[in-house]
């Protein structure tokens, strides 16, 4: 019999924010796979779950480069899916771990689709995780949205010049993946007069968590990859 494949969102960083379901599955599977880019010394998702693992597991790092080159990504997803499939076809259960939620900007969704396409008999279970922005709102005691307010989730790796349009339509905006274009984002927030309505949070829910309400102080620097900006244009929050 073929093994089962699980995608586990392991939350934003605090191991206590893992769901009970993800915890159980992590300790039941035979193999734990995780994404690893060459830049990272250690996989963030693995560091989250490491203190929760009981007993021996096969741990497999799948190379997932931080690139936007579609051809390279396609190649690596294909290789990753083939590696996972080889374990599944040996009857071993495999979990792929990913930070935050498994279905939000995660390599998991691509791998899952590849595995499905390669072998439709494989049983796939996705376990949701607490997103980085849910953890940020909780850490700051600030609601993401109230009443009939709208909320936009924006991957700011795309052109920051598109931001004014989003800000005009949504009072609450979460900017994710802010590191590469951070200074351009600051320019836009300043031009739109919302810089004082924004907070940057890095490494939310971990001992390294940092919050900066005065974004101007960070100008010229590049925040860590695990950083997001929450913009709240209305109300008393920022
Ligand atoms: C590839 S996305 C992964 C999103 C993740 N699946 C989620 O549900 O939050 C990576 C981006 O998520 C955000 N992020 C993830 N973990 C974070 C944390 N602990 N603190 C702040 N931002 C975080 C950052 O914006 C980072 O660039």
Q: What is the pLDDT of residues 163-210, one digit of tens each?
A: 999 999 999 999 999 999 999 999 999 999 999 999 999 999 999 999
Query: What pLDDT, on the 0 to 100 scale, is given for residue 194?
Result: 95
Cβ of 76 less than 6 Å from ligand 1? no
Residue 4 to residues 126, 167, 236: CA-CA distances in angstroms? 11, 43, 48
Q: How far is the CA of 89 from the centre of ligand 1 (A)?
A: 32
Whether 235 shows a pLDDT value over 90: the answer reads no
C-alpha span between 213 and 164 (Å, rounded)? 20
Q: How far is the CA of 120 from the centre of ligand 1 (A)?
A: 30
The pick from 135, 185, 226 for probing ligand 1's pocket by mutation, whose C-beta has the most ligand atoms within 8 angstroms, reads: 226
What are the residue boundaries of the structural domains of the chain, listed by start? Answer: 5-127, 132-232
Q: Which atom of ligand 1 is nearest to the CA of 176?
A: 25
Q: How far is the CA of 75 from the centre of ligand 1 (A)?
A: 24
CATH 3.30.950.10 fits 132-232, yes or no: yes
Same CATH topology for 5-127 and 132-232: the answer is: no
Query: What CATH fold (topology level) applies to the domain 5-127?
Result: Cobalt-precorrin-4 Transmethylase; domain 1 (3.40.1010)
Query: Pick from 74, 58, 147, 60: which is nearest to 107 by CA?
Result: 74
Sheet holding 227-232, edge to edge: 151-155, 172-176, 227-232, 198-202, 210-212
Q: Tens digit of pLDDT for each residue in 59-115? A: 999 998 888 888 999 999 999 999 999 999 999 999 999 999 999 999 999 999 999
Percent of the chain at pLDDT > 70 equals 98
Alpha helices in 90-131 (DSSP H): 107-118
Q: Which atom of ligand 1 is nearest to the CA of 129?
A: 8
Q: How far is the CA of 55 from the centre of ligand 1 (A)?
A: 29
Summarize the confidence of residues 2-17 as an average pLDDT.
98
Q: Which atom of ligand 1 is nearest to the CA of 102?
A: 6
C-alpha span between 174 and 154 (Å, rounded)? 6
Q: How far is the CA of 181 from the centre of ligand 1 (A)?
A: 15
Cβ of 29 less than 6 Å from ligand 1? no
Q: Which atom of ligand 1 is nearest to the CA of 225?
A: 27
Crossing angle of the two packed helices 70-89 and 107-118, in degrees rounded to 10: 60
Neighbours of 40 (CB within 10 A): 15
């Amino acid at each position: 019999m073929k093994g089962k494949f699980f995608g586990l969102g392991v939350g934003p960083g605090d191991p206590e924010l893992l769901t009970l379901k993800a915890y159980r599955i992590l300790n039941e599977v035979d193999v734990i796979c995780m994404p690893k880019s060459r830049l990272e010394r250690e996989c963030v998702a693995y560091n989250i779950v490491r203190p929760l693992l009981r007993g021996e597991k096969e741990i497999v790092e799948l190379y997932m480069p931080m690139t936007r080159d579609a051809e390279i990504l396609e190649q690596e997803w294909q290789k990753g899916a083939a590696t996972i499939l080889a374990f599944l076809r040996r009857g071993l259960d495999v979990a792929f771990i990913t930070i935050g939620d498994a279905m939000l900007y995660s390599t998991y969704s691509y791998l899952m689709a590849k595995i499905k396409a390669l072998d439709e008999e494989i049983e796939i279970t996705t376990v949701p995780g607490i997103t980085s922005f849910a953890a940020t709102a909780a850490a700051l005691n600030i609601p993401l949205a109230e009443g009939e307010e709208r909320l936009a989730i924006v991957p700011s790796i795309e052109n920051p010049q598109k931001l004014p349009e989003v800000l005009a339509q949504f009072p609450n905006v979460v900017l994710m993946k802010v590191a590469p274009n951070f200074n351009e984002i600051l320019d836009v927030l300043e031009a739109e007069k919302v810089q004082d309505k924004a907070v940057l949070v890095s490494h939310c829910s971990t001992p390294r968590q940092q919050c900066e309400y005065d974004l101007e102080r960070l100008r010229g620097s590049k925040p860590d990859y695990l950083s997001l900006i929450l913009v709240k244009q209305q109300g008393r929050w920022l």
